[in-house]
């Protein structure tokens, strides 16, 4: 079976870590490289976190590249939902050294590899889209070299997490999100913040999954301690309208959609953009359901997922 070639752009982040572990365990996937961007923590921490994940999964041969350290324009917001270092502030004396990060810049590496393998590599983006925005500005033909792209970010119903109406990854760099959604013409799928919230997993499953007798399961459970503490807080009546109680790992949805394409059972297909100027809506993804923007390139926004297949991917990731 021919493997799917992936390039992953992350701001790792424990949910990025879970998504990477899901891909690394999939027999039908080969990750060619991982580019790092600021987001859940500093870009330096992101690089270190990715190396830690690769070591736990015995895949340190995959090259890791440092990319954007800040947004194109705005001041970065962060609520340290995953701890100040992005991996739950869990010390690791055996973590790989920063010297294992490649010297080539992340954006240069992306442009080089996709140019060497045009239309053969899938790009999965689970953090702010700054590296991707820089890539298209450096090489306007870059999007045409991508087989397809899966993004975790944005929102369908104007509900936000870091802001009133904006999801974290898009709010972290709204200009970058705008550039990517308006200048990337490759087939694109998006897993939104609301998708993840409406497909939370029962805590009983989370305990079963992270209690497997493996180093990977113990690692993920340990680094998720800070985040699961937040997720187990009581949900307000208003939030309960769209947020089911349970475990949520947002980035895994974008990865699952690539590993097992049939795990997405219902989608919205339309043009999208990003609001840049609204006082309460900056960074919000806009769905053009009536085709008023007259855009040729449209995206597939996942609305429903086969959660049994999703659970299977997560269980396999931690074996």
Q: Which residues are catalytic?
A: 11
CA separation for the pair 315, 201 (Å, rounded) = 12
| Separation in Å, CA 167 to CA 42, 121, 164, 257, 314 | 19, 27, 9, 19, 23
Return the residue matching tokens 């937040």: 230
User: Nearest-CA neighbor of 258 among 159, 180, 146?
Assistant: 146
Decide: 310 and 252 in contact? Cβ < 8 Å.
Answer: yes
Structure tokens at 105: 């810049």
CA separation for the pair 125, 136 (Å, rounded) = 14
Decide: 165 and 286 in contact? Cβ < 8 Å.
Answer: no
Q: Rg of the chain's alpha carbons, rounded to an integer?
A: 18
Which run of H or of E encompasses 36?
strand 29-36
Peptide bond into 264 cis (omega under 30): no
CA separation for the pair 62, 34 (Å, rounded) = 7
CA atoms within 13 A on the CB side of 104: 13
Structure tokens at 12: 């790792």
Other CB atoms closer than 10 Å to residue 225's CB: what's the count?
13
CA separation for the pair 165, 183 (Å, rounded) = 23
Question: Across-strand partners of 151?
Answer: 125, 190
Give CB contacts under 8 A, 24+ apart, made by 232-236. Answer: 232/203
């Amino acid at each position: 079976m021919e493997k799917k070639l992936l390039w992953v752009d992350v701001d790792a982040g424990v949910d990025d870590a879970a998504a990477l572990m899901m891909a690394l365990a999939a027999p039908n996937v080969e990750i060619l490289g991982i580019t790092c961007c600021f987001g859940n923590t500093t870009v330096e921490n992101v690089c270190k976190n990715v190396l830690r994940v690769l070591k736990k999964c015995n895949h340190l041969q995959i090259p890791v590249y440092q990319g954007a350290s800040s947004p194109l324009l705005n001041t970065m917001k962060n609520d340290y939902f995953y701890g100040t270092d992005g991996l739950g502030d869990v010390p690791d004396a055996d973590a790989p050294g920063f010297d294992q990060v490649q010297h080539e810049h992340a954006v240069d590496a992306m442009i080089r590899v996709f140019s060497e393998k045009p239309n053969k590599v899938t790009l999965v983006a689970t953090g702010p889209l700054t590296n991707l925005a820089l890539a298209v500005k450096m090489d306007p033909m870059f999007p045409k070299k991508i087989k397809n792209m899966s993004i975790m970010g944005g929102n369908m119903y104007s509900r936000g997490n870091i802001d009133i109406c904006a999801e974290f990854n898009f709010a972290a760099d709204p200009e970058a999100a705008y550039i990517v959604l308006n200048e990337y013409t490759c087939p694109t799928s998006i897993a939104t913040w609301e998708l993840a919230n409406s497909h939370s997993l029962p805590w009983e499953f989370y305990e079963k999954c992270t209690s497997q007798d493996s180093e990977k399961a113990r690692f993920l459970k340990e680094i998720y301690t800070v985040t699961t503490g937040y997720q187990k807080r009581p949900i307000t009546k208003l939030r309960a309208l769209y947020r089911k109680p349970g475990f949520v790992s947002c980035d895994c949805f974008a990865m699952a959609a690539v590993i097992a394409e049939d795990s997405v059972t219902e989608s919205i297909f339309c043009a999208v953009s990003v609001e840049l100027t609204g006082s309460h809506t900056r960074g919000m993804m806009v769905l053009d359901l009536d085709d008023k923007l007259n855009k040729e390139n449209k995206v597939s926004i996942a609305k429903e997922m086969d959660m049994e297949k999703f659970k299977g991917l997560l269980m396999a990731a931690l074996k």
